[in-house]
Amino acid sequence: MTYVESAYERLLKRSGGRPFRAEDFEEALGLRAGYVRNLLSELKRKGWLSSTPDPAYSRRTIYRLDLAAAGEANAVNARPTCRWY
């Protein structure tokens, strides 16, 4: 599992699939802002994350995980659980 996939899983567990702010992720996991921004950028590049401006405060961004896209990617990378002899 790559660090991006690992970050996705941690983010999914923490957010429960609900929208979140980058600051929420930083605080919850004790990560630095620059590291979180890089992870979010990688997740967006893979199509696993979407973002929209926060309607309450335009300088803030709201993120949402794309559960279907990441699920497809994980299914491709999954290892078989049994062996055929």
Cβ distance 63 to 40 under 8 Å? yes
Q: Which residues contact 7 (CB under 8 A, 6 or more apart)?
A: 39, 42, 43
Q: What domains can you pick out in the chain, each with its CATH number?
A: 3-77 (1.10.10.10)
Token pair, residue 81, equals 């659980």
This model's pTM is above 0.75: no
Give the pLDDT confidence of 49-64 residue by residue, as tens digits: 999 999 999 899 999 9
The three-state secondary structure class of 14 is helix
Give the pLDDT confidence of 15-43 residue by residue, as tens digits: 888 999 999 888 877 889 999 999 999 99
Rounded Cα distance, 6 and 3, in Å: 5
